[in-house]
Structure 1
Amino acid sequence: MDRSLHTQIWGANASYWDNVLGPNGNNFYKHLVTPTALKLLAIPPPDAESTDNIEILELAYGNGIFSCDLISLNPNIRVFATGFSCAILRIARDRLDETDVESGLVEIREVDITSERDLSNLRYWPGPRVAFDRIVCKRVFAVKFALVTWQNLF
């Protein structure tokens, strides 16, 4: 299946999946996905003396709920969010606009994580870098493709 067809399919399903999750996540998301991902990320509590950002790359971002959860844990978190569908990213941007998440703490970019070129270009976002502090992907299918592609890159 080519990329344009994938884009059309995900674009058509974006509002459906956003409705399934709801504005704060459904029970599966709230009780299994979020707590497990947060535990694996090992986010430190806020440190009043530290102004260093914790930069998190989120692959297959979805509708933006998770980044709001992250930032509520520590205001020094900065999320670099990627997604395949312009439609779901638009929903995510709208959701962020409706929250009290400070502008600039979440940057959203359209990225195809099955594309070696797109993944390679993440090294230059927001500028040349060696690594992000954490990387998270809560979607199983996306992880499989990303891991195979990343193994070939590094």
Structure 2
Amino acid sequence: MRPLVSRTLGAVVAVGAVLGAAVTPAAAAGDNTFRLRAGSVVAHGSYGHMMSIPERPVPPFRIVGTMTGRSVFGCAVIQVGRSGPADGLEWRTVGKHCGAGRRSFDAQATYLFRGVKPPVRLCAGWSTAQAERGRRCDVYRPPAQ
């Protein structure tokens, strides 16, 4: 009797794991998480929509995450796009990281021209100044609603 109970319990656990795995991708499709890689630095975070009230307006987007460096050489910057003159795109640096270790970043952003959500990019270089020039970058463009 004991082996029958353990087999039945094992089957119930296996079915629960399969159903849980089937539900997870559908739930993850709605979130706006990103993972960027440039040089030896990886950035991951979330791109959230904030609510505002008329008395205290805030920018509609909050971008929060962490940069992780795996090498002692090289630097990286995380940048958020913003509208520039004549409908151009400018990049604003919101976080810098050099060497090995972790550094968190937190930024608020507004819509770009024509109601486009601002992109996020991670750029690498030998120094933060070189990384800010934007030659080796990985870009996250949030999906349109």
Instruction: Settle same-fold status: TM greater than 0.5.
Output: no
- Whose relative contact order is higher, 1 or 2, with alpha carbons under 8 Å and at least 6 apart? 1
Q: Which has the higher helix share?
A: 1
**Which structure features the higher share of strand residues?**
2
TM-score by length of 1: 0.25
Q: Taking structure 2 as the reference length, what is the TM-score of the superposition?
A: 0.26
* Larger-gyration structure (1/2): 2
